[in-house]
Amino acid sequence: MMADRILALDVGTVRIGVALSDPTGKIAQPLQTYTRKSRNADIEYIGQLIRDHDVKLVVSGLPKLLDGTEGEQAQKTRAFIARGQRAWGVEVTFWDERLSTAVARGVLIDAGVSRERRKDSIDMLAATVILQNFLDARQNAQN
């Protein structure tokens, strides 16, 4: 069974982690860490990834505070995604990303990745954690 590709974003102030589902929509794969340039350039770049990979859904991590409320970073993420959604023309949904960066950091530390190299891949891995959690929850809801 083929499913539509899903792109996940971990939107940060300096970088955006990007992950992509496999064609079956069951497995999240790290794609890249994009270093932000400007709002318009960032939105255009993500739009090109969406077109290149025939993405039908974007899942954006929503950085909630540990108590479940939304802080300043969540509002910045919502604003960026709202602008992007208008430009990209695909469905966008948010996923609670609490602890995704901590999970990603733990995976990289366990793998023996140096602190310097972790900085380059943590956002991409956090996006992968966000996407896999989303895919797993969607699969469980269908069963």
How many domains in the chain? Answer: 1
pLDDT, tens digit (0-9, with 9 covering 90-100), for 63-112: 887 788 888 999 999 999 999 999 999 999 999 876 666 666 777 677 77
Domain limits for position 133: 5-142
pLDDT at position 9: 97
Alpha-carbon gap, residue 38 to 43, rounded angstroms: 8
Q: Bridge partners of 20? A: 7, 29
pLDDT at position 67: 84
The CATH code of the domain that includes 31 is 3.30.420.140
Percent of residues, the chain, with pLDDT higher than 90: 61
pLDDT exceeds 60 at position 2? no
Which residues, including other chains, have CB under 8 Å from residue 129's CB and lie 6 or more apart? 28, 97, 100, 103, 104
pTM of the model: 0.87
